[in-house]
């Protein structure tokens, strides 16, 4: 039994996705700066408010429509239903312990706690994760769904994550093409550098010497190649990033 959006009493046989002391993720469907955010818990004509008191002080870090929050139901003295955010103990209770073989895996995760030290997340597979500020370009919102990669597995079974692309994903098309040539060469090296003949570069790679030098610069900066004795050589980091 509940009251719908119009304040009318309703009975339903449909079980909500969340309940009192039963936590689950609920999608954000509306944001009200004077009240909080509304989440969908599976009732046909009523959404539940998560109060602004439980949301970040900085409004740009509030959840947006389409984000999700782990909540349970709570009822106040006026019999009004509210969404109650899961605290750290609840998140830890549902989390799995990560394994070292998850290193370098791609994961989808939801930001559930925003801290000065970084962002705490829970992956779709219920692994705890942490994103240090140096591994992101902007601070995620509470409830934001993120695509990250595993850069470490801590001793306590939590994932260290990065929102930044792998080095080989961050480079341009020309650099990617040169990298592919290196990776397909059994020796992991090519007899071309930024000092090579422009015509030879054009004939082999189909790009100008200027474009080749720019692409090579990206690869050198990313630590994917090194130049040595007239050769451009694939580094160990480039081999690992491709695995």
pTM for the full model? 0.68
Q: Are residues 148 and 115 in the same domain?
A: yes
Domain boundary among 42, 66, 86: 86
pLDDT value at residue 222: 84
Secondary structure of residue 47 in the 3-state scheme: coil
Residues 80 and 103 in one domain: no
| Shared-domain flag, residues 14 and 82 | yes
pLDDT of res. 19:
80
109 plus 36 within the same structural domain: no
Tell me the backbone φ, ψ of residue 41, rounded to 5 degrees: -110, 15
Query: End of a domain among 86, 105, 129?
Result: 86
The span from the CA of 227 to the CA of 178, in Å, is 13
Structural domain harbouring 15: 2-86
**Same domain membership, residue 47 and residue 105:** no
Residues 48 and 78 grouped into a single domain? yes
pLDDT in tens, the chain (243 residues): 445 454 545 555 555 678 888 899 999 999 999 999 999 988 777 789 999 999 999 999 999 999 999 999 998 888 888 999 999 999 999 999 999 999 889 999 999 999 999 999 999 999 999 999 999 989 999 999 999 999 899 989 999 999 987 765 666 788 888 988 888 888 999 999 999 999 999 988 889 999 999 999 989 988 889 999 999 999 887 766 555
- Report yes or no: 47 and 38 within 8 Å, Cβ to Cβ: yes
- Of 131, 162, 193, the residue that ends a domain is 162
d(CA 110, CA 119): 10
> For position 56, which CATH number holds?
2.40.50.140
Measured CA to CA, the distance from residue 224 to residue 171 in angstroms comes to 10
CA-CA distance, 183 to 179, in Å (whole number)?
A: 6
The DSSP line for 74-141 is: EE-TT--EEEEE--HHHHHHHPBPP-GGGTT-EEEEEEEEEETTEEEEEETT-BEEEE-GGG-SSPPP
DSSP designation for 22: B
Looking at the structure, tell me whether residues 28 and 48 fall in a common domain.
yes
The token pair at 125 is 């597979």
- What confidence score (pLDDT) does residue 97 get? 95
**Based on the domain organization, do 139 and 121 belong to the same domain?**
yes
Query: What was the pLDDT predicted at 76?
Result: 87
The count of structural domains within the chain is 3
């Amino acid at each position: 039994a509940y009251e719908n959006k119009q304040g009318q009493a309703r009975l339903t046989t449909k079980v909500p996705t969340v309940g009192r002391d039963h936590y689950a993720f609920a999608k954000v469907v509306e944001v009200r700066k004077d009240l909080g955010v509304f989440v969908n818990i599976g009732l046909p004509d009523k959404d539940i408010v998560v109060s602004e008191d439980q949301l970040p002080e900085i409004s740009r870090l509030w959840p947006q429509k389409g984000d999700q929050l782990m909540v349970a139901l709570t009822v106040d003295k006026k019999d009004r239903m509210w969404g109650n955010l899961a605290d750290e103990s609840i998140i830890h209770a549902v989390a799995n312990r990560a394994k070292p073989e998850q290193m370098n895996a791609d994961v989808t995760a939801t930001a559930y706690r925003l801290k000065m030290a970084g962002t705490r997340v829970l992956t779709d597979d219920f692994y705890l994760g942490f994103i240090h500020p140096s591994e992101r370009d902007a601070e995620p919102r509470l409830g934001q769904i993120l695509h990250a990669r595993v850069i470490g597995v801590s001793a306590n079974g939590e994932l260290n994550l990065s929102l930044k692309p792998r080095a080989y994903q961050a480079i341009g098309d020309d650099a990617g093409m040169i990298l592919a040539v290196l990776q397909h060469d059994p020796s992991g090296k090519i007899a071309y550098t930024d000092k090579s003949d422009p015509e030879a570069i054009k004939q082999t790679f189909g790009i100008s010497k200027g474009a080749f030098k720019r692409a090579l610069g990206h690869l050198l900066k990313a630590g994917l190649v090194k130049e040595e004795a007239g050769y451009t050589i694939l580094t160990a980091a480039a081999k690992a990033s491709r695995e």
